Amino acid sequence: GIQVEQSPPDLILQEGANSTLRCNFSDSVNNLQWFHQNPWGQLINLFYIPSGTKQNGRLSATTVATERYSLLYISSSQTTDSGVYFCAVPSAGTASKLTFGTGTRLQVTL
Amino acid sequence: ETGVTQSPTHLIKTRGQQVTLRCSSQSGHNTVSWYQQALGQGPQFIFQYYREEENGRGNFPPRFSGLQFPNYSSELNVNALELDDSALYLCASSGVYEQYFGPGTRLTVT
């Protein structure tokens, strides 16, 4: 099945700093989602981005499908950005079965 | 439009017991997927239901079973609980392109 790897695995930032999270996937995909999992376990949709670039406030994401990677940018980080960030892609043959990456755990400090 | 809801939020069971977890999908969504998330890992796909039929299954034993009802709500049943079943169980309902997750049920097996 498809493999999804994320880097870095852990990241500590001071409030106000910028960061880039990376998601690599082993096969071509027609769908990619980024999620933020808050400390209570809730997975919050950030982006649906099969290709191209999208922005939502301080967050933006870029997917280069031909090179099998996606990037999530967080600018001017805030303590509320802390948590785990996952990318997820559908597995071949099943429209909605998502394979999640290994996650990036982000801690934003004052 | 209501989001995905799950019940209960927390549950403690003893090894060998059976458990039923419940999920109400987002209004208008007829596809529900279940995921298991062990501590420190990304969610793993259990199975998916589409219009009351199982539509794809991950690498989980038959003691994990499910149902979907005519209103598209769903249940996850786990028989003969094992200690390794302790995890966060997430339900997701599928829109046209994205999956939307509920808050999860945290199951502890002692």
Q: Which residue of A has its CA nearest to B55?
A: A94
Looking at the predicted structure, is the pLDDT value of residue A97 above 80? yes
Closest alpha carbon to B103 in A80, A96, A43: A43
Q: What is the pLDDT of residue B73?
A: 94
Q: Give me A82's structure tokens.
A: 């802390």
A-B contacts (CB, under 8 Å): 57
Model pLDDT, residue B27 = 84
pLDDT at A95: 54
Nearest to B45 among A42, A97, A103 (CB): A97
Cβ pair B10, B106 in contact under 8 A: yes
Q: Is A80 helix (H, G, I), strand (E, B) or coil?
A: helix
Please, which pLDDT band fits residue B69 given cuts at 50, 70 and 90?
A: very high
A48 Cβ under 8 Å from any chain B Cβ: yes
DSSP letters along B12-61, please? EE-TT--EEEEEEPPTT--EEEEEEE-TTS--EEEEEEETTEEEEE-S--
Which residue among A42, A97, A102 sits closest to B56, beta carbon to beta carbon? Answer: A97
- CB-count burial class (<10 Å; 0-12, 13-18, 19+) for A100: buried
Reply yes or no on whether the pLDDT at B95 is more than 80: no
Does position B1 have pLDDT exceeding 80, yes or no?
no
* Per-residue model confidence (pLDDT) at position A35: 97
> Do A103 and B90 make contact, defined as CB atoms within 8 angstroms?
no
pLDDT per residue as tens digits for the range A4-40: 999 999 999 999 999 999 999 999 888 899 999 998 8
Would you call A63 an interface residue with chain B, using a CB distance cutoff of 8 Å?
Answer: no
Q: Measuring CA to CA, which residue among A14, A57, A37 is closest to residue A102?
A: A37
A21: which 2 tokens? 């999270």
Average pLDDT of every residue of chain A? 94
> How high does pLDDT run on average in chain B?
94
Query: Tokens 């990037």 sit at which residue?
Result: A71
Contact residues on chain B for A92, CB-CB shorter than 8 A? none
Rg (C-alpha) for chain B, rounded Å, is 13
Residue A3 is which amino acid?
Answer: Q
* Of the partner residues B48, B98, B106, the one whose CB lies closest to the CB of residue A97: B48
Contact list in B for residue A45 (CB cut-off 8 A) is 98, 100-101
Give chain B positions within 8 Å (CB) of A100: 42-44
DSSP 3-state helix, strand, coil percentages of chain A (rounded to 5)?
5, 55, 40
CB atoms B33 and A102 under 8 Å: no
